[in-house]
């Protein structure tokens, strides 16, 4: 929940539309490809569970 709380409370405007991986209140990987972001984060913190989420787009979402 710590990484989720950081994700929810932080200004992530520069990462809009990107996938971000977070550990210890820091963004440790980001990009457009979620698989690559997860793999990069796993290399940086191999023994920990990754938190990764997509920063919502500014455009209107209709799912």
In the complex, which residues of this chain contact another protein (CB under 8 A)?
1, 3-4, 7-8, 11-13, 16, 19, 32-36, 38-39, 49-58, 61-63
d(CA 34, CA 46): 17
Rounded to the nearest whole angstrom, what is the least distance from the CB of residue 44 to another protein in the complex? 14
In the DSSP assignment, the letter for residue 60 is P
d(CA 51, CA 5): 11
CA–centroid distance for 26 within its chain: 10
Rounded to the nearest whole angstrom, what is the least distance from the CB of residue 42 to another protein in the complex? 9
Rounded to the nearest whole angstrom, what is the least distance from the CB of residue 15 to another protein in the complex? 9
């Amino acid at each position: 929940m710590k990484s989720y709380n950081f994700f929810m409370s932080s200004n992530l405007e520069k990462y809009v539309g990107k996938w971000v991986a977070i550990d210890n209140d820091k963004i440790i990987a980001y990009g457009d490809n979620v698989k690559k972001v997860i793999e990069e984060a796993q290399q940086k913190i191999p023994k920990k569970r990754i938190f990764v989420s997509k920063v919502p787009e500014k455009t209107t979402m209709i799912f």
